[in-house]
Each structure stands twice: as C-alpha cells, then as structure tokens.
Chain A
Amino acid sequence: MVKACALQLRFENKEKYIEDINKYLRDIKADILVLPPLSGLLFSSTAEYLTFHLELSKQKDFVLVPGSFIEDGYHKAVIMQRGRILHTQCQTHLSGQDERDGLKRGDELEICPTAVGNVGILVGNDCFHPQCGRILGLQGADILVGLYAVEGGYNRWLQLSGIWQQVQQNQFFAVECAVNGRIRDKIYAGRSIIHNPIWEGSNGILCEMGEDEEGVLAAVLDFDRRNEIKSVYPLYKYLNRKLYKKEWGY
C-alpha cells in the first residue's frame, strides 16, 4: 500500500506559496507527494525554486514531485527524494499557446524507479495525448504524476479526457495535481484527483478536490487490487501490434 498525496493551492505569490507549504506539509504523512504545476514561475530563478524544494525534500522521506518550472525553453518537472533529483521530465507536446509562448518539446519520456514503484510524469498538455500514457505504461509505470495546467474556466469533462482516460487504458494509478489561481496574468483552474483503474465499486477516482479548495488530497493506492485487475483483464495483451506496425511502421 502506498499513501499518495497532492497539495492543491491557490497561487498568488511566492510568499503565500512558502507559507502554504509550511502550513500544509508540517505534519504530513505520505509516500509520494505532488505539488501544483508551474510553481517554478513564482520563484525568481530555477535555481532558487529547486533549492527550496530540495531542502524540503531533505526533511522528509517521501518521493516529491514539486510541480513544474520553465528552464531553457522547456516546461519541466522533477522527481526528488531526500534532497536528490532522481529524474527530470520535459513536456513533450505543445498546445497552440505553448508554441506562442516559445516553449520547446522534449523528446524523452521515461519512468523512474522509486521507493513507491515506477513513476512517470505527464507535464501540462501531455495529459491529453494518449501516446504518452501508453509509452510510460508499456515501460512499466505504476504511478503516473499528472501536472494539470489549463488556463481559463474549469471544465470537468476536459480534465477527465486527460489523465482519467490514460489511467483506464493503461491500468496504472495517477496522482494529478492541478494549478489554480493567477500566475503572470494567466488564470488557471483544475481539480486535483487521485485516479485508479476502475474496479468493483469504484469509478476510477479515489478522491478529488474542488477547484476552489486548498489543502492536501490523500488516498491509499492498493497495488493488490490494481494487479488483480491487470491479471483478470490484461489490456496490453490484446494490443494489435501487427496493425500498428503496418500503419505506423512501429
């Protein structure tokens, strides 16, 4: 069993962010914690942002995914544990707005073995591209971290068309943390959600937090139930590899 948490905050500025981190994480018990995306933009530099979170990570035992940041034209996220960066992931697909903002696409999508299992990250727009979940799932991802950063008013259906469906067609867990509030004149809205592949008595959502709320969202990831689903209905076994090869050459 793994206790997964996401911290949802309403962004205003760096000072409030640090206050919130101290307030909500003081007594937290978690195996993996995901912080809201784009938090890097609240800091004056990537170095300052990473240093702050590495210090935080040193004080705790959990696997930490501290949101995301922009560096060298890439939208990136990292996995940390005990003050060390274990893995870096760049966003691999760009929206029209991302392109206008001058972002570049990453060309790698890897899982990272951690104490809580194999973890992969979908940064920003990647959650809407099913190839991403498939690539991570086929590599053996147990937990997907989704960093949901969508501008404008909240649309639940838009969000469900992202990570939720990636979980259902790949049978991993996902901890999705959403950015809310204002960053650099853009307003974001989303819900933090912890997902599971649908099993008896579950709709694929272990817990979620309204877009206007702040706090820690927590759920226990039951790997036995997930493994049972995978063994009863092994979705990957029925992939039509011959067809894909014929159509795409891979």
Chain B
Amino acid sequence: MGLLDFAAKMFLSYKFNPKPLKRHISGLKVKKYNREPGLKVAAVQVEFRLHKSTIEYFEHMRHLMERAAEEGARLIAFPENIHLPLYGLLPGIEKKFSGDGRKDDDGEKMRAALMLLGPYVKGIYFLTFSSLARLYEMYVMGGSITAPENGELYNTAYLFGPDGKLIGSQKKLHATPEEESFGLKTGEELDVFKLPFAKVAFPVCMDATYFETFEIARMKGADIVIIPIANMEEYDFYRALRGIWPRVQESRVYGIKSALVGRVAKFYFTGKAGIYAPLDLTENRDGVVKEAKHYQGDDVVTASIDIGALRKYREEDELLKDRNEELYRKYLSRLY
C-alpha cells in the first residue's frame, strides 16, 4: 500500500467511523405504532441529497421509515444505490460529480473510487438499515449499494428482519452499459425469501427490464417482487411504465418499486415509488395499487395488499395459466 492509499484509508476511516452513529442510535426512543390486521407494505422515494454526516444520512432514512411505520407497514423498500447520499461526507464531491462524464478513463476511475469507498459505505449502510429494522420492528429491504465483494464490484440489495438481522441479499443480475464501463459483475442467483406473510424477491432496477427475472422469481414462488431503482433519465410516463409494471402483469405477482430521485451536479434521477398488482386486482384495472404523486422529492407510498387474493387469482387465471415449455426449450436453448 502506498502512502497516498494509506492516507486516503485513514481519512475514510475517520469520516465513516460508525461510533458517533452507534451512539446516536443507542440514544433513540422510537414510538411504537399499532398495525391493523392484514399486510401493508411501503415503497420509499428518496431524494438524493449529499449528507455531511452519517447521522444526517441515518435521520433522513429514519424520517421516511417513521412515516411508513405510522401507516402500519410491515415491509418497506428503499431504492437502488442508496449509498450515494453518503458520498456527501467527502469534501469537494460536488465538484467531482460535475465532471462531464465522457472521458474514456471515467470507467476506470469510477471503479477505483467504488472499490475504495465501498467497504466504508457498506458499514454505514448495514448499521443504518439493520438498526431501522430493529427499532421499528419491520422487514426492511434497505435498497442496494455498489461495493466490492471478493475483489469484484457488485450492486447488491439486502433484506433485514425486525430483529435487525440480515435475512439475505440479492446481487443485480443485469448490468447497464454504464455499469459495464466500470466493470460491475452481475449475480448468478435469484433468491426468494420466505417471510411470515409472503415470499419475496428483490432483484435490482435493470433486472425488471428482462421478463426472465420475474419469471424465475415467480417459478420459485415469489408473491412480491421488489425493485429498487435509480434511473438516470428525464421522467416520462411511458419510459417509467417499462420495467416493473409489465413484469407484474406477466408474472402475476405484487410489485414494489422504490426510487432514488433528485439532481446532484450531473446526476439526475427520476421515478415514482409505487405498489403494483395484476390489473384484475386493482381498483381501476390499471395495475397500480398506489403510486407517488410526483417523480421528485421524498415520499412514502403505503398500501394494503392481499396475498391470499393473489394466490387465488393465480389458480383461476384465465389469461396466462398456459405455458408452452416445449416451445421455450426448443427455441431458447439455441437462442439464448
């Protein structure tokens, strides 16, 4: 390790030191909220702000968590790349983020930065979402972070139980061209987790562009598929309709979309957090149980969903019950 690397690591250890946040959390008293019978879930829309301390970051997330708890949610989902607001701890980061992003070596620089910062943001991420899950006694899909694991970069989401313990994780399965440019490695497993009220999968963002993701989740028994997103594009209704909404219709699951939104320097994220269902299980037969009113700003969308009704609907499904395995095998075995 060079002197510069050593100095950088010392600096990061200082900035991302978890002790002040641990002290803050241990002094917290949170209100206990009653939950009505049935299952209420929450999709969180987080405005991307650069936080100056780990406590500020934690309080931002806690504020959103509190809103979901007030409404009686048992399961809550945070967005993709939820570590980005933590980069505010780095001095001069706004200027760095303002680069034009078109240089050939940007991918390499980005990779080096993510590899270096990853372990530090991961520590704060785990402390934040595991503590929130425990404090509010909720199942928390804490969104995803891009961080190294065994020398490779992954975009990974984590699920915590109401005791604060990690239930499982999910690596992003389909990269974007930008992620490819910095060498993001994709996962090779899609897991479904059995919670007391439903079976849940939580692939990440771009995974919802591919029907295969939801098909596999459904075949493994998923009732709910959560998609954390951080879409860097201007908002447009139809652009945003791609992804989770059609996947929910094809695979007959409930969908929860959590979104990172907002503009910091050259980064501009848009999207509406929402809860989706097959058309026939929604009031307006539009597939939307509830969605954020706007594609910018913090928001918490909560809604009751009925897993029993979903399972019954699947059994009686007139439209999609047919599968032509012979056809899939015949063609996809040579085309994939």
A161 engages B331 (CB within 8 Å): no
Measured between beta carbons, the chain B residues less than 8 angstroms from A128 are 249-250, 319-320
Measured between beta carbons, the chain B residues less than 8 angstroms from A240 are 173-174, 186, 188, 210, 212
In the complex, A130→B174 CA distance in Å?
Answer: 17
B159 sits at the interface (CB 8 A): no
In the complex, A245→B285 CA distance in Å?
Answer: 35
Query: Which one, A108, A157, A250, contacts B279 given CB within 8 A?
Result: A157
8 Å CB interface, A109-130 against B: 109, 125, 128-130
A199 to chain B, nearest CB (A): 10
Most buried by A among B175, B215, B336: B336
Measured between beta carbons, the chain B residues less than 8 angstroms from A242 are 188
Measured between beta carbons, the chain A residues less than 8 angstroms from B189 are 243, 246
A27 sits at the interface (CB 8 A): no
B319 engages A203 (CB within 8 Å): no
A138 engages B335 (CB within 8 Å): yes
A131 engages B332 (CB within 8 Å): yes
Which one of A73-81, A179-187, A211-219, A231-239 is at the interface? A231-239
In the complex, A234→B180 CA distance in Å?
Answer: 12
Residue of chain B at shortest CB distance from A130: B211
- B contact residues, range: 35 or more
CB-based closest 9 A-B pairs: A165-B246, A250-B333, A203-B238, A130-B211, A161-B249, A96-B318, A138-B335, A135-B331, A93-B322
Main secondary structure of the interface of A (DSSP, over half): helix
Measured between beta carbons, the chain B residues less than 8 angstroms from A248 are 328-329, 332
A106 to chain B, nearest CB (A): 8
A-B pairs with beta carbons under 8 A, tally: 145
Task: Flag B127-161 by CB within 8 Å of A: 1 or 0 each.
Answer: 00000000000000000000000000000000000
Query: Which one, B174, B321, B323, B327, contacts A238 given CB within 8 A?
Result: B174
A169 engages B209 (CB within 8 Å): yes
In the complex, A239→B213 CA distance in Å?
Answer: 10
Given contacts A158-B279, A238-B206, contact A107 B324 (CB under 8 A): yes
Given contacts A161-B246, A247-B190, A250-B336, contact A239 B176 (CB under 8 A): no
B332 engages A238 (CB within 8 Å): no
B242 sits at the interface (CB 8 A): yes
A139 to chain B, nearest CB (A): 7
Given contacts A125-B319, A128-B319, contact A203 B237 (CB under 8 A): yes
In the complex, A129→B209 CA distance in Å?
Answer: 15
Given contacts A158-B279, A161-B246, A161-B279, contact A95 B319 (CB under 8 A): yes
Measured between beta carbons, the chain A residues less than 8 angstroms from B279 are 155, 157-158, 161
Most buried by A among B212, B219, B318, B321: B212
Task: Flag A4-23 by CB within 8 Å of B: 1 or 0 each.
Answer: 00000000000000000000
B287 sits at the interface (CB 8 A): yes
A82 sits at the interface (CB 8 A): no
B236 sits at the interface (CB 8 A): yes
Given contacts A138-B335, A240-B174, A247-B190, contact A131 B319 (CB under 8 A): no
8 Å CB interface, A130-160 against B: 130-131, 134-135, 138-139, 155, 157-158, 160
List 9 extra interface pairs beyond A165-B246, A239-B336, CB under 8 A.
Answer: A95-B319, A105-B322, A109-B327, A130-B211, A135-B327, A157-B287, A160-B246, A203-B239, A246-B188
A58 sits at the interface (CB 8 A): no
B3 sits at the interface (CB 8 A): no
